[in-house]
Amino acid sequence: MTSKPTQPFGRYGEQLAKSYLEQHGYQIITTNWRCSLGEIDIVAKQGMTIVFVEVRSRHTDTTEASFESITKAKQAKMAKVAEAYISAHQLEDAMWRIDVIGVAIPRSGKAIIDHAEDALGW
Answer whether 99's CB lies under 8 Å from 116's CB: yes
Cα radius of gyration (the chain) = 14
Q: Which residue has the higher pLDDT, 84 or 59?
A: 84
Judge whether 33 lies within some domain.
yes
CATH number at residue 52: 3.40.1350.10
Judge whether 71 lies within some domain.
yes
Judge whether 65 lies within some domain.
yes
Average pLDDT on 5-21 reads 86
Give residue-wise pLDDT tens across range 68-101.
999 999 999 999 999 999 999 999 999 999 999 9
Could you tell me whether strands 112-116 and 95-104 are parallel, antiparallel, or unpaired per DSSP bridges? antiparallel
Domain that holds residue 92: 7-121
Q: What's the pLDDT at 6?
A: 58
pTM, two decimal places: 0.90
Neighbours of 98 (CB within 10 A): 22
Buried b (16+ CB within 10 A) or exposed e, 30-60: ebebeeeeeebbbbbbbeeebbbbbbbbbeb
Judge whether 2 lies within some domain.
no
